[in-house]
Structure 1
């Protein structure tokens, strides 16, 4: 079984998948005059940080095309639930620095970006 599915399609397993949980706070959250913090959590959202090490130009293209939609449905292993989950995410800025670009060796050093739950 693959680690990640994007819009129902299996993709290359990332070198790193970092799971995160963000608290979404209401507008009335903040510190009062007595310096006590008052959180008004209205929701929690998942955040996934993904990276692939040393992808070929073909792998880089396939990965970036898979995540090019405004929103993507991701099936992934969720650390909190302990199960495979499917959620809708939007993709942050993507980067793919080049490593080597010679005649027989065309690779990027990595591809990385963050997914934030919608």
Structure 2
């Protein structure tokens, strides 16, 4: 099985993947003016963030990757560091980049395709 499955489509394994966990705090979170300037985080939930990149994809591979992550929301099966197993969660995509590396008659490549996906 591929490292990433998006809406049922197995994708090429990324060249780089960084797992992150973000805390979501309540509106009333923050420091209070007391003797210790105590912080009240008031965590309401935690959300995963995956930073993904693929190095040197050709146009077809880049298109396959970008099209898989193009819907507003999508389901992803991925290895989760916190649970130690495979997880299925709903994500959305941040800004995507694909810098051009080489664009000659017989050789077309991007330096990378990279973006973050954030749990909904």
Q: What TM-score, normalized to structure 1?
A: 0.98
The CA distance in 2 between the partners of 1:9 and 1:103, in whole Å, is 30
2:104 to 102, 106, 113: 102
Q: Which residue of 2 aligns with 1:23?
A: 23
Q: Which residue of 2 aligns with 1:92?
A: 94
Q: Which residue of 1 aligns with 2:10?
A: 10
The CA distance in 2 between the partners of 1:59 and 1:11, in whole Å, is 9
Given the alignment of the two structures, is residue 80 of structure 1 paired with residue 82 of structure 2, yes or no?
yes
Structure 1 gap segments, 5+ residues each: none
Structure 1 runs (4+) deviating above 4 angstroms are: none
The CA distance in 1 between the partners of 2:92 and 2:99, in whole Å, is 22
Structure 1 range deviating more: 28-37 or 60-69: 28-37
The CA distance in 2 between the partners of 1:57 and 1:29, in whole Å, is 45
The CA distance in 1 between the partners of 2:14 and 2:99, in whole Å, is 16
The CA distance in 2 between the partners of 1:70 and 1:102, in whole Å, is 33
The CA distance in 1 between the partners of 2:63 and 2:21, in whole Å, is 29
Please give the secondary structure, in 2, of the residue aligned with 1:116.
strand
Instruction: Within 5 Å, give how 1:37-116 maps onto structure 2.
Output: 37-116=39-118
**Superposition deviation, residue 79 in structure 1:** 0.4
Which whole-Å deviations, capped at 9, do the CAs of 1:17-65 have from their partners, x for residues lacking one? 1100000000110011132211100000100000000000110011111
